[in-house]
Amino acid sequence: MMKQLNIGLFGLGTVGQGVIEQLGENQALIKTRAGLKIQISKAVTQNPDKKRRVDLSGIAVSGDPAFILDDPSIDLVLELIGGTKEAKEIVLSALEKGKSVVTANKALLAEEAGEIFQKAYQSKGLFGFEASVAGGIPILRDLREGFSGERITAISGIINGTANYILTQMSKENKDFATALKEAQEAGYAEADPTFDIEGVDTAHKLLILMKLAFNGLFNFADLYIEGITNIEPIDIEVAQEFGFVIKLLGTARAQAGAYEGRVHPCLVEAESMLGNVNGAFNAVEVFGNFVGHTLAYGSGAGSHPTSSAVVGDIISIARQLKVAGQAVIPPLSADLNQLRPLPILPMEQVICPFYLRFTVADRVGVLAEITRILGAEGISIGSMLQKERSSSQGPVPVIIFTHKAKEEAIRRSLKKIDHLEFIAESTKVIRLHEG
């Protein structure tokens, strides 16, 4: 019977150091709960000599991956280096050798899912990836275990702390985009390349993982619709507020009549709703199930300690399973691999939801009539409308239209016609509404 779990850690960055701190500070209670001693005996990093904020005594550090991978005494490999190339080699090699693996690497799991999960299911080692989605919120465990008897109909998540921090600072503190991004980076929320955060790619990686667990489908990352927050302007935030909304970057997945939506884009969310009150770097994930109804899980989605919490939870879960059963008891993707089918994601053109449209037009007779005529011809019904007064004596004015539910393709066809009209000064801004 296993008495001690020996860990080899790849990566001594923000999360790696958080894991060392947590395993140290909570050592006694972790031992009580896991039923065995858990210890990091080795670490591999690109800069073995770099000074770290945490105490590394008791951990042998090297720059050579074989130091961990070729050591038969290592039971579990922690992959906390990020990126997809080297991380993939480490994860596959560890699983191949029958070691268990815990990773926080959402990009790897979204983009290289086929190979990684195939290997994880075949390996004698166990596989944990709770930290890959929503940091400290154990949402994967919710989906895999707590909701295992539910038919999940929809998931909506604020699952990128950096984007949420930026949008919150823009709307509550009137800060500009660049300052807010810099602050999020300094706080340790952002990816090494923050483009992934602000362009919605990180949210998409996480959404894809959620979809696999919720819908038991092998979805393709390339089929997701992805739009980030870089085009959100202060005027959109202001108008949204006037109408009782806030703007959030959401990952949305819905299952309807055998079709699956998977999309990432900014959304107008009711300001009074729980999701609308998730601010700063916090994350939240709404799950709708056919028996449980509406649920919401909330917490810190990024940063050293919230992410280490998810990693340590996975380590303990693996220790418990190895100790008692010597193998995985809970399938990583909520079902056995042979139960999972490749499933398509509905093309964005087919998605139906209400829309916010901001036109920038010359202020003169007939303009509104022409816009509404084109929308009407496409069967798009208008919910409410607002024209802002001009700030100077001349120049274009914003006209905002909220539509009832409409199909994306009808909106795109209408805007193609409208944006060519001579009274349109700028291309029309489209933001979709979240349906709670």
DSSP labels, 219-232: --GGGSEE--STT-
Looking at beta carbons only, is 188 or 354 nearer to ligand HSE?
188
Looking at beta carbons only, is 189 or 221 nearer to ligand HSE?
189
Nearest C-alpha neighbor of 108 from the set 90, 95, 121, 126: 90
SS3 at position 20: helix
Rounded CA Rg of the chain? 24
Here the tokens at position 194 are 């923050």
Looking at beta carbons only, is 36 or 187 nearer to ligand HSE?
187
Provide the binding-site residues for ligand HSE, judged by CB under 6 A.
135, 160-162, 189-191, 197, 202, 301-302
Given the residues 106, 206, 248, 429, select the one marked as catalytic.
Answer: 206
Please state the closest distance from residue 146 (CB atom) to ligand HSE, in A.
Answer: 22
- Spell out the residues 6+ positions from residue 48 whose beta carbon is closer than 8 angstroms to its own: 61, 62, 63
Separation of alpha carbons 64 and 215, rounded Å: 39
Looking at beta carbons only, is 9 or 190 nearer to ligand HSE?
190
Nearest C-alpha neighbor of 163 from the set 251, 92, 95, 46: 251
Looking at beta carbons only, is 106 or 429 nearer to ligand HSE?
106
Please state the closest distance from residue 160 (CB atom) to ligand HSE, in A.
Answer: 4
Looking at beta carbons only, is 123 or 162 nearer to ligand HSE?
162
List phi, psi (to 5°) of 372: -70, -30
Separation of alpha carbons 227 and 212, rounded Å: 21
DSSP labels, 27-80: HHHHHHHHSSEEEEEEEE-S-TTS--SS--TT-EEES-THHHHT-TT--EEEE-
Here the tokens at position 303 are 């940063």
Looking at beta carbons only, is 280 or 436 nearer to ligand HSE?
280
**Residue 396 corresponds to which amino acid?**
P
Active site residue 206: yes
Separation of alpha carbons 206 and 208, rounded Å: 5
Strands 259-270 and 225-226: parallel
Separation of alpha carbons 11 and 324, rounded Å: 29
Please state the closest distance from residue 282 (CB atom) to ligand HSE, in A.
Answer: 10
**Residue 334 near residue 216 (C-beta atoms within 8 A):** yes
Instruction: Please report, for residues 37, 385, 403, 430, the alpha-carbon distance to residue 359 in angstroms, rounded to integers and kept in the order given.
Output: 62, 11, 13, 9
Which residues have a catalytic role annotated?
206
